[in-house]
Amino acid sequence: MRRLIRGGMLVDDAKIVRSDLLIEGECISQVAINIIPEPDMEVIDASGLYVMPGGIDVHTHFNIDVGLARSCDDFSSGTRAAACGGTTTIIDHMGFGPTGCSLHHQLKVYHEYAAQKAVIDYSFHGVIQHVDDAILDEMRAMVEEEGISSFKLYLTYQYKLDDPAVLRALRRLKEVGAMATVHPENDAAIALRRSEFLAQGKIAPLYHALSRPLECEAEAIARMINLAKLAGGSPLYIVHLSNGLGLDYVKLAKAAGQPVWVETCPQYLLLDEQCYQRDDALKFILSPPLRPKSEQDKLWVGITEGSLDVVATDHCTFPYAQRQILGKEDFSRCPNGLPGVENRMSLLFSEGVMSGRISASRFVELTSTKPAKLFGLWPRKGSLLPGADADLVLFDPRQNDVIRHQNLHDNADYSPYEGFVCRGKPVLTLSRGDIIARDGHFTGQAARGKFIHRQPFQHQEKEAQYGQS
């Protein structure tokens, strides 16, 4: 099967060129100014459309049990929603398993969750619940045999790691060619503040935010950067950055040549702490919490100047009905997380590209190419090079789209972005050459997604540098 995408504006992370693109089977086979259609080619007219690498969302939590509740999107609903919004690959986070369980135990659980369900290609980040010799020994096999080349360290929640455990993990991850990703928040400071608020009867959602101020996050970012340096310069990826002070610490480290990268999410760019004054404030409980509007502006500077590397979602769905039951009497009983996997591409296209803050190439870098390079997927994913998987999203800048939860495909009962007007719309999503979504509806086959065996980090770092030169 050959598909010819004609007359579109092809966008990669470096340039925009009006060009045609030919797909043969699952891969891109040719990119050229004028490809003559042949009888066996299905022609897709892309005039007026941006043709870009499909989105890569490296931060989702399908099926995760956070103790208070289990998130209600699985690999079927979550990846369908992703596809409808122009995302063609996800890296989900393995959730916590039984105390003391091995890395391979959780990998098996997650393979079972995803197989026969995912409709787009996928991988997993490992999760380091505890550190001992057995876990450290397993890491190499995870990278070399299982294709899992990144691991999450939590500094808060049930399985938070202490500094010696973090140091030991970072040293070994560097050795085996894996990226450490971190949820940085100072758990002890948060626990103290939370217990003080609750003792005073301060149970409203606003106190969720006040119990974890930005200093808790920024302190933990600085600590992780220094521990990564002490570990010999292990590669470090900071997830869901919500504030400017944390970004300043990252910029210092980057300026000193330390291998540190940072992600933010649409909610931190577009929503702010005013949401905690609303009657439905429980809809916005997540960690880190939403910040003052002034922090949004600092993150947008990072997006435009290049110090922020990736925009992902942290998609983690708990319905409003459930939040009300669990969290009405006590903010700390409300499970944390926001949905958004279907809206990431549209929101950043609208508020980034259409608003004139960033170029379409920078959009591709943030949503697809950089995550692919950092997490061992490039150039198979995140590129328009011949030989790459034909994972594409076609955006129409002439169409507006109003976000309504009733039109989304996740299992939530609300959208935090309800009523938001997006300028520009993903009108076609292709995954390995298949048309899997059109005009916001899923058109692909069930369970067609494949597990992607990712490359070790070291290898990708070299390619990434090569690609940027």
Q: Do 74 and 391 form a contact (C-beta atoms < 8 A)? A: no
Exposure class string for 88-125: b at 16+ Cβ within 10 A, else e: bbbbbbbbbbeeeeebeebbebbeebbeebbbbbbbbb
Q: How near is the Cβ of 189 to Zn ion at its closest, in Å?
A: 16
Rounded Cα gap, residues 153 and 125, in angstroms: 10
314 binds Zn ion (CB under 5 A): yes
286 binds ligand DUC (CB under 6 A): yes
183 binds Zn ion (CB under 5 A): yes
Q: How near is the Cβ of 406 to Zn ion at its closest, in Å?
A: 10
- Which entry of ligand DUC, Zn ion, none binds 459, CB below 5 to 8 A by partner kind? none
- Which entry of Zn ion, ligand DUC, none binds 4, CB below 5 to 8 A by partner kind? none
Please state, as a whole number, how many other Cβ atoms lie within 10 Å of the Cβ of residue 205.
23
| Matching residue, tokens 């787009």 | 120
Nearest residue to the partner Zn ion, using Cβ = 183
- At position 316, the amino acid (one-letter code) is C
CA angle 56, 60, 62 (to 5 degrees): 130
Rounded Cα gap, residues 370 and 178, in angstroms: 16
Q: How near is the Cβ of 287 to Zn ion at its closest, in Å?
A: 6
Which of 3, 80, 168, 183 touches ligand DUC by CB under 6 A? 183
E strand intervals along 184-341: 236-238, 260-264, 310-311
Rounded Cα gap, residues 60 and 73, in angstroms: 10
Site for ligand DUC in 310-349 (CB under 6 A): 314, 316, 336-337
- Which entry of Zn ion, ligand DUC, none binds 441, CB below 5 to 8 A by partner kind? Zn ion
59 binds ligand DUC (CB under 6 A): no
- Which entry of Zn ion, ligand DUC, none binds 344, CB below 5 to 8 A by partner kind? none
Rounded Cα gap, residues 317 and 340, in angstroms: 9
57 binds Zn ion (CB under 5 A): no
- Which entry of ligand DUC, Zn ion, none binds 286, CB below 5 to 8 A by partner kind? ligand DUC
Q: How near is the Cβ of 29 to Zn ion at its closest, in Å?
A: 30
Which of 63, 186, 287, 415 touches ligand DUC by CB under 6 A? 287
Q: Do 426 and 345 form a contact (C-beta atoms < 8 A)? A: yes
78 vs 337, beta carbon nearer ligand DUC = 337
Chain positions contacting Zn ion, by CB under 5 A: 183, 314, 441
Write out the residues near ligand DUC by the rule CB under 6 A: 61, 183, 286-287, 314, 316, 336-337
